[in-house]
Amino acid sequence: PYRRKLTEDEVLDLLLEIKPVGMIAGLEPVTARVLQRAKGLRIISRCGIGLDNVDVNAAGSLGIAVTNTPDAPTEAVAELTIGLIFNLLRRISFLDREIRRGNWTKETGSLLRGKQVGIIGLGRIGKRVAETLLALGAKVAGTDIYPDYEWLQEKQVSLVSLEELLKESEVLCLHVSYTGSSEYLIGKREMEAMREGAYLVNTSRGEVIDHDALYSMLTSGHLAGAALDVFDHEPYTGRLTRLDSVILTPHIGSYAKETRLEMEVQAVENLLNALNADRDDAPEKPDSRT
């Protein structure tokens, strides 16, 4: 009924009123304060990948299991990422707006084939993006803190340092989880190290990019464009909305009907499985890698 993300107090009020043994969580804040007062809660089933809105440590200390749905969103987020890359290279959204403004503007874009694309984070989504890019004729390199060497060798994807990836990539895609160490992973220094005229695509977590630094790099012309599906504060109303070189989407990475259905089914199955399990069984640690 709210048609928006609930606040911490609203989540707490609902839990105190309903007193559930399990809950399916979206992006609303499930904090230590909420969990400490939610007596009887045994399972939080997150419908999605990221767990940065759930205090997993507090849940564990209270004996509350936490699950997520890491597999379902892979294809949808990967497809959106590829679509955003095409959009940037051919300036589709900008030219659409130009026609609507009454301007028959023709601009020469660029091909994806032959482009050097860098991927930060080669988990489920990063791998799928890489495989699709390779099939489209792009050259792919990546960096990851837990490399899958067998996959890298099989797909012939180069594993390089972050510094080299920034320097060489014509398009840079982010597919990382949000942790304290990944906040502002791409800040002013990293953007300055990027190849001049490069494009930046983020469909992972908004907090991993410094949006003020991105604005400066775009207005200076150092970066040619950016496409963002996620932001550090949502709904986003910041300065990037003023730039024609930026494509903005409202956190729709998993918003394909087939994907949402699969996520919701998985979330319900996780909830029921946890409730049916022996209470003494230690819940598996959820995998929040993208």
Residue 146 amino acid letter: Y
With tokens 């949402």, the residue in question is 260
Q: Is residue 227 classed as helix, strand or coil in its secondary structure? A: strand
Residues 176 and 66 in one domain: no
Residue 24, φ and ψ in degrees, nearest 5: -100, 120
53 shares its domain with 149: no
Pair of tokens at residue 55: 């205090």
Residue carrying structure tokens 């775009």? 218
> What CATH number should be reported for the domain holding residue 178?
3.40.50.720
Tell me if residue 228 falls in helix, strand or coil: strand
The catalytic residues are: 205, 234, 251
**pLDDT given for residue 76 in this prediction:** 98
pLDDT (tens digit, 9 = 90+) per residue, 46-105? Answer: 999 989 899 999 999 999 999 999 999 999 999 999 999 999 999 999 999 999 999 998
* Per-residue pLDDT at 5: 84
- Please give the tally of structural domains in the chain: 2
Q: What pLDDT score does 284 carry?
A: 61
Q: Which domain holds residue 269?
A: 8-71+257-276
52 and 122 share a domain? Answer: no
pLDDT category at 285 given cuts 50, 70, 90 is low
Query: Measured between alpha carbons, how far is 39 from 19 in angstroms, rounded to an integer?
Result: 7
Q: What is the mean pLDDT of residues 140-162?
A: 98
> Looking at the predicted structure, is the pLDDT value of residue 230 above 80?
yes
Residue 45 pLDDT greater than 70, yes or no: yes
Coil, strand or helix at 223: strand
- Compute the half-sphere exposure of residue 220: CA atoms within 13 Å on the CB side of its CA: 13
Q: Are 47 and 25 in contact (CB under 8 A)?
A: yes
On the question of pLDDT at 290 being above 80, the answer is no
* Alpha carbon separation from 183 to 177, 205, 207, 208, 271 (Å, rounded): 10, 9, 5, 5, 30
Residue 284 is assigned to a structural domain of this protein: no
Whether 290 is covered by a domain: the verdict is no
Note whether residue 152 is domain-resident: yes
Please state, in angstroms and rounded to a whole number, the distance separating the CA atoms of residues 230 and 249.
8
